[in-house]
A and B are shown apart, each in its own frame.
Chain A
Amino acid sequence: MTAPGEEQQVSSGFVRSYVITGGRGLPDAEDLSLVTLVTLAPESQPPPNPSPEVKAIWELCSGGYLSVAEVAGHLGLPVGVARLLLQDLHQQGHLLRRKAPPPAQLVDRKILEEVLHGLQVRFG
């Protein structure tokens, strides 16, 4: 028998991702894209006996909008798995979601300068 010191260390994850999804099919990536923002619907009650992942999502998303990618990162789960859990919550009416706001567009500096110039000429 090996001495306890010789015991190898197991480094792989403990709960497999397919157990968390229950072996169900994964939703399409377009359904909840990485940058889709999600948050808890106001005054929704957590489902009875939530799994640890659902509990964690509940706590994460109660603080405001988070992107799908951020939720997956916080949970340490593959995005597809987080997406499925979020989709479940959304279908149960616990979750609001919307697309990320479009990135701010920089206005051409030249136009701004011309406007400033024009204003200065007229009022300055």
Chain B
Amino acid sequence: MTFAQGPVVWALVVVALVAVGAVLRARAINVKLRRNHAELRQERDALLHQRDELHVVHNTLLQRQSAELAEVRKDAEEETKAVLKAAVRTLQGLADEQQVVIEKAQRKYGDDPGILADLMAMDHANSQFGRRAQGIAVLCGGWLGRRETVASVFDVARSAQGRIRHFDRVRVNGQVNFSVVSRAVEPVAVVLAELLANATNYSAPGTPVEINIQAVPTGVCLIVDDAGLGMGQEEKDRAAALLSPQAAISVSSLGIPPQFGFAVSGMLAARYGFRVSVDSVSPYGGVRAVVLIPDELLTTEAPPAAAPAEAPEAALSPAPQVRQPDQWQARAQSQPQHPAQAPAPTPLFPPTPQPDTATQPLAQITTTAGGLPKRRRKSPVSAVPSAEPEPVRSNEETASRLGAFQRGTRSGRDTTTTEGPEFQ
């Protein structure tokens, strides 16, 4: 039995040993695997970390690239604008120069209706050209050109009217006793011209476009109404964005053909401090555009009266000087009813230059800046220059002669008596 039990025991022992061996081996493998696993995990973590780092680097590089791209684009845009601005500046100057030449020609040949009409057509084309050049200049950050004097709101509206193609469809209503300060004269005129151009281009030919001038508590409103189709919401939004620009407008974003109107208006309004809006509907169904000129850009100063073109550039001398024209003026004012006491006659067209009276209201002018006398009905003046000293005459003789002369000139100039052959 012991023997019989022996092999079983041994077999059991062997099995047990094998089992122990297997367990130990498994444990060893397990430990090794664990170690491998830990190593792999570590490696993976390191790689993950590296990946994150690379991600960050990638992002920064992307950012830098886009920033640099934007900068390059901005530089390119600025360079383009600078070149364009310089080129357009020349064009602006030339347009202005040409305008002056045309104006002079208009005065010179103004007596011939045919020539004057042609000159006006040239003037009209040139004005539109000048406005376009001004628009491009503004978009490129350039300037419009500065006016020296204030201009009445009415004249600003009429000046704007002259800068568009269909000026004859525009009517200006209402006058206020305000002028626009000199630095804002051109900007307001250009903005109004762009609004008028839009109004006439986007309404049926032949329909009127109205400018109404209205004083409001905060300034003066110029209201442009057209009878067109109006604008959709999308167009209104685009216009509103352009009219209150947050950043410089890219020239390339204006499309082909470029639509500057609102972009130019927005930039000028922001730069000079007035407001432009196009979001209301006109009573005729089209667009109502409103330019609000604030009090800061308005003045009660009257614009200077029109000066003759060939006015000599005499210095303004307020002190009365002993000159023949001044004598004439003084006599005309102080002694209109006493021709008998009139001293030596003076030439009707004195050759000496006059003090510049162009800045005075017209009512006070008795001689023009060009030296021409403003004639008055009851101030007879002999046109014969006194080459020699006056002959000695008795008082009665002088009185009767001058009285006869006065009667003669009166009857000659009287409107109530017989009129000339051309009177109708």
Contact = CB atoms under 8 A, between A and B. Distances in A.
A59 B305 CA distance: 12
A121 B382 CA distance: 34
A27 interface: yes
B415 A19 contact: no
Contacts of B124: 16, 18
- Chain B interface residue number, banded: 35 or more
Nearest to B108: A78
Interface string A75-86: 111111100000
A60 B305 CA distance: 12
Nearest to A66: B375
Interface magnitude class on chain A: 35 or more
Contacts of B161: 19
A11 B306 contact: no
A121 B121 CA distance: 70
A105 interface: no
A20 to B, nearest CB: 8
Interface of B: 85, 89, 92-93, 96, 99-100, 103, 106-107, 109-113, 116-117, 120-121, 123-124, 127, 141-148, 151-152, 154-155, 158-159, 161-162, 167-168, 175, 185-186, 189, 305-309, 362-363, 365, 368, 370, 372, 374-378, 412-413, 415-416, 419-423
13 contacts: A7-B143, A10-B96, A10-B147, A11-B96, A15-B158, A16-B120, A16-B123, A19-B158, A41-B415, A59-B362, A75-B306, A78-B110, A78-B116
Closest 7 CB pairs of A and B: A78-B110, A98-B420, A64-B377, A16-B162, A12-B99, A76-B306, A26-B113
Interface of A: 1-2, 4, 6-23, 25-29, 34, 36, 39, 41-42, 49, 52, 56, 59-60, 63-66, 70, 72-81, 96-99, 101
